[in-house]
Amino acid sequence: MGTEDERLDEPIDILLVEPNPGDSRLFEENFTDAKLLNTIYVVSDGESALDFVHQRNEFANEPRPDIVLLEPQLPGKSGVDVLSELKNEPSLNEIPVVVLTSSDAGERIVQSHGLEVDTYMRKPVEPKEFVEFVQSIEAFWLTIVQRESQ
């Protein structure tokens, strides 16, 4: 593991778990427009998210993500199920998870299951808000790295 400054300069691998193709596209475009060096991977359902973090099936050769952006309302295996597995699996529970919500209801749903979340972030409604959102994710990551390296 490198020094703190080296870690801050390294691109991170972000897994976005988002069922809405329009929102996924906005995320990807805004990461590109912000000229962030981070790599964003996108899956649209809970099973694929778990396959990705476990590096199995079609995702066997993908990197383990440094951070997961998780929409709690997913088709099939729910975001709450994904979060539960991430937080209860010793090999995965150190991956920071940001639960993306479009309302307070999403936050209440996750909290009602008693699951620990690193943070909640409100999904932007307007495309111009995505730039600020991307910057807040980057700031969150820098806070995590700084906290871990102390």
What is the token pair recorded at 107? Answer: 């936050």
Which residues, in sequence order, are bridge partners of residue 41? 15
Is 70 among the domain residues? Answer: yes
Helix, strand, or coil (residue 119): strand
Instruction: Provide the pLDDT for residue 28.
Output: 81
Is 127 among the domain residues? Answer: yes
Is 2 among the domain residues? Answer: no
Q: What residue numbers bound the domain in which 46 lies?
A: 12-148
Instruction: Provide the pLDDT for residue 43.
Output: 97
Is 3 among the domain residues? Answer: no
Q: How far is CA 31 from CA 3, 20, 21, 66, 134, in A?
A: 25, 17, 15, 16, 7
How many domains is the chain built from?
A: 1
Q: How far is CA 129 from CA 7, 27, 57, in A?
A: 28, 11, 35
Q: What is the mean pLDDT of residues 17-27?
A: 88
Pick 5 or 32 by higher pLDDT: 32
pLDDT category of residue 47 using cuts at 50, 70 and 90: very high
Pick 38 or 82 by higher pLDDT: 82
CATH number at 56 reads 3.40.50.2300
What is the token pair recorded at 120? Answer: 């909640």
Is 105 among the domain residues? Answer: yes
Is 125 among the domain residues? Answer: yes
What is the reported pTM?
Answer: 0.78
Which residue stretches of 10-128 are H helix? 21-33, 46-54, 79-88, 104-112
Q: At what angle do helices 46-54 and 79-88 cross, to 10 degrees?
A: 20
